[in-house]
A and B are shown apart, each in its own frame.
Chain A
Amino acid sequence: MLRHSHAVALTVSAAFTVIAASLSASAATRLTVYTALENEQLEPYKKAFEADNPGIEVRWVRDSTGVITARLLAEKDNPQADIIWGVAASSLMILDQGGLLEPYAPAGYDKLKAGFKDQKAPPTWVGMDAWLGAICYNTAEAAREKMPAPATWADLVKPVYKGKLVMPNPASSGTGYLTVSGWLQQMGEEAGWKYMDALNENIAVYTHSGSKPCRMAAQGEYTLGISIEYTGASLKTKGAPLEIILPKEGSGWEMEATAIVKGTKNLDAARKLADWAVTKKANEAYNAFYAVTAYPGVKRDIPNYPPNAEEQMMKSYDFTWAAANRDRILAEWSKRYNAKSEPKT
C-alpha cells in the first residue's frame, strides 16, 4: 500500500516537475561543470543527475586536475564555470584561498564521513570519493627479471629496483606531491628527505602526469610506477599484467570534491547539483569506479581494486599541512633532484 502511494506521489511530483520545467523556461538550465573526472565517469554521472533533475543540463569541461585548476584560477575575474564536480580537494583549497568558491552546505551534508568535510561551516567544498598513492607493479616484467614485489615504501630503495622505477614529479603533478608530502608526514622531514635521496638513486624518470608512471608500468617500459591505485585498477581491467600494491606503511591520499563557483549565474541549479552530489545514489555512482566514497556504507567491490584501500589511507594525512608547506617542499625537492638532470640509463 505504502509503496503504491509512494509511486503515485512520485508520478504526480514528476508530472509537476515536467510541467514546471516546461513552463519556467523553454530551454533547460545549462550548467557548465568543470571536472577532472575520468572520461568514462562523465556519462553515467550526468545521466544519473539529469534523470533526477529534469530541466538542468550538465555540460562538461574536462581536463587534468592541473590544467582545470589553472584555468579556473586564470578565469578568476570573470568565472565561466558554474560548479566544479570532481576536482582534487587540495586544488579546491587553492581556489578557496583565492576567494573563488561559494560557501554552501548541501542538503544531507551531515551524513558524510568526517574526513570528507571541509573544516569551515558552511563548507566551500565537499568530498566525493578518495584515491591514494600506490605502486603499479608489472608482474610480467618482474618475472622475467626475477624481481621480488615490494611490500613497503622502504623496499623501493633496495638496489634491485635501480633504474626500474618511475614516479611523478611533484612540481608537475598533484599525485606526485601527495606521495612526497605523505612520506614527509609519515617519516618526519629529516628521515623523509633521506629516504627520497636514496629513492632518487633508483628512479629512472620523473614524469609530469600522475597516472603516467602506472601507464608506463602497464606497458612494461619500467617495472614499477609510483602512481594512483585507481589508474592501476582500470589498466588491469583492460588486461595489463599489473599488480596494485598499497605499501604497508599507508599512503598519502586525496579526494575528489564538489564546489560551487562564486559568481555563477545559475546558483539555484548549481545548488541542486551540489545537493545531488552528496546523495547515496550519487555515491553509488562514484562507487562504480572508486572503492572509498564519502557516504558511509557505500562500499561495493570493484574489479581489480586492492581490497584494503580504506585502511591503507594514512589516518594522519594532513591536507592543511600539505597545502601550507607546498612551496617550501617543492623548492627543496627541485634543489635536490632537479639540478642533476642527466637521464639514467
Chain B
Amino acid sequence: MNQSVRVPSLAPAARTPRRLRLSMGREDWIMAGGILAVGVFLIVAVALPLLALFVKAFENRAGEFVGLANFAAYFSTPSLTQSIWNSLFVASASTVITVTLGFVFAYGLTRTCMPLRGVLRALAVTPILSPSMLPAISLVYLFGNKGFAKGLLFGNSIYGPIGIIMGEVYYTFPHVLLILVTALSMADARLYEAADALGTSRWRTFWTVTLPGVRYGLVSAAVVAFTLALTDFGVAKVVGGRFNVLATDVYKQVIGQKNFPMGAVVGLVLLAPALLSFLVTRHVQKRQKAQLSARSVLLTPQPQKGRDLVFFAVCSVIALAIATMLGTSAFASFIKLWPYDLTLTLTNYDFSLVDSSGWTSYTNSLVMASSVAVIGTAVVFGGAYLVEKGRSLPLLRHAISVLALLPLAVPGLVLGIAYIFFFNHPANPLGFLMGTMAILVINTLAHYYTVAHLSASTILKQVDGEYEAVSASLKVPFWRTFALVTVPVCLPTILDILVYLFATALTTASSLIFLYTPDTKTASVAVISIDDAGNIASAAAMAMVIVYTSAAVRGLDLLVRRFGLARFQRWRQR
C-alpha cells in the first residue's frame, strides 16, 4: 500500500510503481495470513509472557497492586542503582572492542584476499558453539590466580570488570561477525569502479562508499553486542567477583531472594537501554538504501599483497585468541584434577558417573536444536521477508519488527520465569504445552529470534525491491519470486541462520532451567548441574561434546556451501 516510501533503490527511475487495487486478491490474503501468523507467534511467544512478568513490577510480593512503589524502592537504594552504571560501562566497553575487532575481521573475510579465510572464519565463530560455561572455565584456567597466562593481566584480577569484558567480547564476537559479514558481503562493484575512475583515494572510498554502505549493519552489530553484553549473566556470574551488574542483580532478586516484583523491576531497567538502542536502529534503518539493485554487480575483492598480509596478521591474532579459549576447555576436559594433578584422562567423558540422566540429555538437545533450527529458520526468514517486502497490514508488520528485537534484551532467566507465569496460568488454553519439548523449542526460538531476524532483514534490505515490483507487474505471485529469486540469492544467509539457531539452541540453558522436565532435560542444563557439583572437568567435557556437535554441523554447512551453493551463487560472478 505505502510501498513507495519503503526501500528506495539506487536507481530512482526504477522505483516501485504504486499499484491501484480495489480488492484483495488471493495472493494478498495469503500474504496477510503469513504476516498474521508470524505476528501471532511473536505476540504469544514474546509479548504476552513478558507482559505477564512485568505486571509483577507493579505488585508487592503478595500480589497486590502497589503502583510505582517498587520503582521508588529500587531507585532509592544506591547498592542497586550502582549496578546500572557498572552495566553500562561494561557493555559499552565490550561493544566498542567487539565491533572494532568484528569489523576488521569481517572486512578481512569479505573484502580482501587474505589466505586461509575459511579456517579463520571457522575459528572466529566457535564462541557461538560453546555453552556459556566454557568461556567461564577457560578464563579462570587462563587468567585466574592459578592461571597459565595470569601475567598478561599485569597484576589485575580476572574477577571483576576486566574478566566480564573479556568474557563478553568472546561471547558476542560471532554474533557481531555474522551481521557484519552479511553487511559487507553485499556491495555494488560499480560504485567502487566509479570511485576508482574518479581517482578517489582508497581511504576516501572507504569513508564515502564502504562505511555508509554498511552503516545499518554496523549499528545492528553494535546494538546486538551492547544488548547481549548488558543482559548476559553467565559470564558475570562466574568472573564478576564483587562487581555487580544488572543481570546478576536479577539473579539475586529472583533466585537468591525469590523477590519476583523487584526482579521484574530490574528486568525493566535492563530493557530501557535496549529500547533506546532499538530506536537508534529504526532511525538508521529508515535511511538504509538497498545495496543490491537488479543491475548491481557484486564486488569481488582483488588480491593486494600488502593489505592482504596485514589483515591476515590481525585476523590470525584474533582467531588465535579465540582458539586458545576453546583449546583451554578442551584441555581442561582431559585433566584429572586441575591444578594439582595434570595427568590426562578420558574418565571425564563418562557422564553416567556425574549425571543421572547420562546421555539422554544429549539426544534431547539434538532433537530440540534441530527443531529450533528448521522451524525457526522458516519462521524467521519468512517473517523477515513479509515484513520487508509485504504490502498489507503495515501496523502489524511494524509490530513484528519491534517484537523481533525485544527478546535480545531479555535475560534468559527473566524469559524463563515469564514463560511459567504465562503458559502455566490455569486459564491459559496453551497450558498443555507446559512440560513438552514444544515449549522448549518455542522459548529458545523466541529467545534467539533477534539476531536471526536482524541477519535476515539486513540481507533482505540489500536485495532491491525491484525484483518484487517486476514480478508483480508480470503477475507472478510473490511466493514464486520468494522461492525462485529471494531464497536462492539469500541462501548463504539462510544457512547462517540455520546454523546459528542450531548452535544457540544447543548451548542455551538460562531460560530452560525453568521449563525442562525429566523427559526433556537438555545437555546444556546438564553442564550447569555437573559444574555445580564440582565436576569442572566433566562439565568442560560435556561442553566440548556440545562444541563438537555444533562444529560437525558447521562442517556440514561448509560442505554444502562449497558444493551445493555454488550453483545458486554463480550470479555473483560477472
* B is a partner of A: yes
Give me the interface of A with B, judged by CB distance under 8 Å. 32, 38-40, 42-43, 46, 59-64, 66-67, 69-71, 73-75, 77-78, 80, 94, 140, 169-173, 203-206, 208-209, 211, 214-215, 218-222, 231, 234-235, 238-241, 326-327, 330-331, 334-335, 338-345
A-B contacts counted at CB < 8 A amount to 167
Contact of A80 with B424 in the complex, beta carbons under 8 Å: yes
Bound-state Cα–Cα, A43 to B352, Å: 10
Contact A62 B256, beta carbon cutoff 8 Å: no
A67 vs B533: C-alpha distance when bound (angstroms): 15
Number of B interface residues at 8 Å Cβ cutoff, please give it.
Answer: 61
Verify B516–A338 contact, CB threshold 8 A: no
Q: CB-defined interface of B523-539 with A at 8 Å, one 1/0 digit per residue?
A: 00000011011111000
Contact indicator B421/A74 (Cβ below 8 Å): yes
1/0 contact trace for B73-100 toward A, CB 8 Å? 0000111101000100000000000000
CB distance from B153 to the nearest CB of A (A): 9
Task: Please tell me if the beta carbons of A345 and B156 are within 8 angstroms of each other in the complex.
Answer: yes
**What sequence of 0s and 1s flags, for each residue 210-236 of chain B, a beta carbon within 8 Å of any chain A beta carbon?**
000000000000000000000000000
Smallest CB gap from B358: residue in A: A43
Q: Which of A59, A74, A208, A340 is B420 in contact with, Cβ under 8 Å?
A: A74
Neighbouring A residues of B80 by C-beta, 8 Å: 334
Cβ-neighbour of A78 out of B424, B518, B530 (below 8 A) = B424
Query: Which residues of B are found within 8 Å of A345, using beta-carbon distances?
Result: 155-157
B residues sitting closer than 8 Å to A (CB atoms) are 77-80, 82, 86, 140, 144-146, 155-157, 159-161, 237, 241-244, 248, 251-252, 254-258, 260, 336-341, 354-356, 417, 420-421, 424-426, 431, 434-435, 513-514, 516-519, 529-530, 532-536
CB-nearest residue of chain B to A205: B241
25 A-B residue pairings within 8 Å (CB atoms): A64-B529, A64-B532, A67-B513, A70-B255, A73-B258, A75-B424, A77-B425, A78-B425, A78-B434, A80-B517, A140-B340, A173-B256, A204-B159, A206-B242, A208-B256, A211-B533, A215-B534, A221-B145, A234-B534, A238-B337, A327-B257, A334-B77, A339-B78, A343-B160, A343-B242
B248 to nearest A CB, angstroms? 7
Do the beta carbons of B513 and A220 come within 8 Å of each other? no
Provided the pairs A211-B532, A215-B534, A344-B157 are in contact, do residues A74 and B514 lie with their beta carbons within 8 angstroms?
yes
A-side contacts of B530, CB under 8 Å: 39
Q: Are the C-beta atoms of A338 and B244 separated by less than 8 Å?
A: yes
* In the complex, chain B residues whose CB is within 8 Å of the CB of A171: 252, 256-257
B78: chain A residues at CB < 8 Å are: 335, 339
Q: Which residue of B lies closest to A340 (CB)?
A: B242
Please state if B434 and A80 are interface contacts (CB–CB under 8 Å): yes
Residue numbers in A under 8 Å from B256 (CB-CB): 66, 169-173, 208
Min C-beta distance of B132 to chain A, whole Å: 14
**Do A335 and B79 touch across chains, with their CB atoms under 8 A apart?**
yes
Q: Which residue of A lies closest to B531 (CB)?
A: A215
Once the chains bind, are B536 and A219 in contact (CB under 8 Å)? yes
Is B516 within 8 A of A61, CB to CB?
yes
User: Shortest beta-carbon distance, B63 to chain A, in Å?
Assistant: 10
A78-B431, A208-B248, A343-B160 given; A63·B529 CB < 8 A:
yes
Q: In the complex, which residue of chain B has the Cβ closest to the Cβ of A174?
A: B256
Q: Which residue of B lies closest to A60 (CB)?
A: B518
Most central of A94, A209, A219, A222 by chain B CB within 10 Å:
A219
CB distance from B419 to the nearest CB of A (A): 9
Closest to A241 in B: B340
- Given known pairs A215-B534, A241-B340, the reply for A73 and B242 (CB within 8 Å) is no
A80 to B140, CA, bound (A): 37
Q: Which of B354, B517, B534 contacts A211 (CB 8 A)?
A: B534
* Interfacial chain B residues near A221, Cβ < 8 Å: 140, 144-146
Do B242 and A215 touch (CB < 8 A)? no
Choose from B86, B251, B516, B533 the contact partner of A208 (Cβ within 8 Å): B251
| Min C-beta distance of A229 to chain B, whole Å | 13
Say yes or no: A238-B534 contact (C-beta < 8 A), given A40-B354, A60-B356.
yes
A63 to chain B minimum Cβ distance, whole angstroms, is 6
> CB-CB < 8 A to A327: which residues of B?
257
B431 and chain A: residue at smallest CB distance:
A78
Most chain A CB within 10 A, of B251, B257, B532, is at B532
In the assembled complex, the CB of A202 is this many whole angstroms from the nearest CB of chain B, namely: 13
Measured between beta carbons, the chain A residues less than 8 angstroms from B417 are 70, 74
Q: How far is the CB of A100 from chain B (nearest CB, A)?
A: 12
Nearest chain B residue, comparing its CB with the CB of A63: B513
Q: A169-B256, A341-B242 are in contact. Are A61 and B426 (CB under 8 A)?
A: no
Q: Are A222 and B82 in contact (CB under 8 A)?
A: no
The closest CB in chain A to the CB of B161 belongs to: A343
Contact B255 A172 (CB under 8 A): yes
Give A59 to B519 CA distance when docked, in angstroms.
8
Residue contact A343 to B241, C-beta cutoff 8 Å: yes
On whether the beta carbons of A344 and B242 are closer than 8 Å, the reply is yes
Residue of A nearest to B355 (CB): A39
Among residues of A, the one whose C-beta sits closest to the C-beta of B236 is A208
**Given B146, B251, B260, B513, which contacts A172 in the complex, CB threshold below 8 Å?**
B251
With contacts A61-B517, A208-B237, A211-B532 taken as known, whether A343 is within 8 angstroms of B435 at the C-beta atoms is no
CB contacts (< 8 Å) of B336 on chain A: these are 239
Please measure, in the bound complex, the distance between the C-alpha atom of A173 and the C-alpha atom of B258, giving whole angstroms: 11
For A74, A80, A94, the residue with the greatest tally of chain B CB atoms inside 10 Å of its CB is A74
Give Cα A44–Cα B243 distance, bound, in whole angstroms: 40
User: Which residues of chain A are near B356, meaning CB under 8 Å?
Assistant: 39, 42-43, 46, 60, 62
